Amino acid sequence: MDNKKRFAIQAAAALIQNADFRAFFKGGISQAASKSVCVPGLNCYSCPGAIGACPIGSLQNSLSSYSIKIPYYVAGLLIFFGALLGRAVCGFLCPFGFLQDLIYKIPFIKKIKTFKGDKYLRFLKYFILVFGVIVLPVFIKLTPVFCKYLCPSGTLSGLLFAFSNTKVFSLFGSRFMWKACIAACIILTGVLIYRPFCRYLCPLGAFYSFFNKVSAVRLTADENKCTSCKACYRACDMNVDPSVTPDHLECIRCGKCISACPENALQYSFFGKTQKTDKYNQKTF
C-alpha cells in the first residue's frame, strides 16, 4: 500500500476516535453515548475528545470490579477485531501507533533496527497482557494496573485534559509523574527505534498478534515468485522477514514489504482472496 494512503487512513482513524472536538474547548471529557462501545485501538477513555472506550481499559475495569463478571462484551469485541484484522489494527487504526509513526519520522543520526536482547524484550508485552491486564486486576479490586501505572496513551490524554482545564494540573501526583516518565522514555526511544511501545509493552498488540495466522486480513507470500532477495526484510521496520513468515506475530500489516518486493511475491489477502497488483506500478515508501 502507498505510504500516503496508509498515513491518511491512520490520521482519519485517530480523528474519528477523538471526534468530539467541543470537549477540548469546554475543559471536560466527552460524554458521547458511543463511549459505551470499544474502539479497536489503544485510545484512552479519558481523552477529552474520545468518543469510544479503550478495550484494554474496559477489560480491566470489568475484571477489577467487586462483583466478578466475565466480560463477554469486551472479550467478544476484542476477538472480533482480532479475527477480522489481526495486527492490522496496530498498523492502521491505533492512534498511539500513529503517534509513534510520526515520532519515528523525526530525523536522527542513525536509527536502531535491532539490538542484542530485542527478541527477548518482545515477550514483555505478553507478560503485561497476562499479569498487568488480567491477573492483577482480578486480585486487586478497583485497580486497573496497566491503565493506572503504565499506559502512555492515558498519560497523554491526562495532559490534554489538563491543558483544556488547568485546574486538573493541581491533581497530578507522584503516580502521574511516574507515568509521565514512562511516556517520555517511550517517546524519546521512539525517535531511535520504530514503535518501541508496540514492540515491547502493548498488551493490545500482544492480544491481536495471536490472530495474525488466522485473521481475515492477512499477508501472503508466493514461494514461486520469491527469489529470497530479502528486500522485504530490509524494508520492514518491525524486523520481520515476511518472505519466510508472512503471518509473523510482530507483523502490523503496514504493507511496506509489499511495495519493496521487486517480484510482486507479497500481497494482502482478504478472506482468502489475494489482492492483485501490478508490480510495475507499485510505489515504494
Separation CA 140–CA 265 (nearest Å): 50
Average pLDDT of the segment spanning 3-31: 92
Same domain flag for 181 and 276 = no
Q: 238 is in which domain, residue-wise? A: 217-281
- What per-residue confidence (pLDDT) applies to 283? 42
Residue 190 and residue 74 share a domain: yes
CATH code of residue 270: 3.30.70.20
Q: Are 205 and 240 found together in one domain? A: no
Same domain (yes/no): 105, 240: no
Reply yes or no on whether the pLDDT at 121 is more than 80.
Answer: yes
Q: Which residue type does 132 have?
A: G
Residues 265 and 147 in one domain: no
Q: How far is CA 63 from CA 47, 139, 153, 219, 243, in A?
A: 22, 9, 20, 34, 40
Q: Are residues 188 and 225 in the same domain?
A: no
Among 178, 209, 240, the domain-final residue is 209
How many domains, in total, are found in the chain?
Answer: 2
What is the percentage of the chain residues whose pLDDT exceeds 70?
A: 95
Is the pTM higher than 0.85? The answer reads yes
- 193 with 254, same domain: the answer is no
Same domain (yes/no): 256, 198 = no
The stretch 210-227 carries a mean pLDDT of 94
The residue from 161, 189, 209 where one domain ends is 209
pLDDT score for 208 = 98
- Do 90 and 157 sit in the same domain of this protein? yes
Q: Which residues contact 78 (CB under 8 A, 6 or more apart)?
A: 38, 55, 59, 207
Contacts of 108 by beta carbon, 8 Å cutoff, 6+ apart? 191, 192
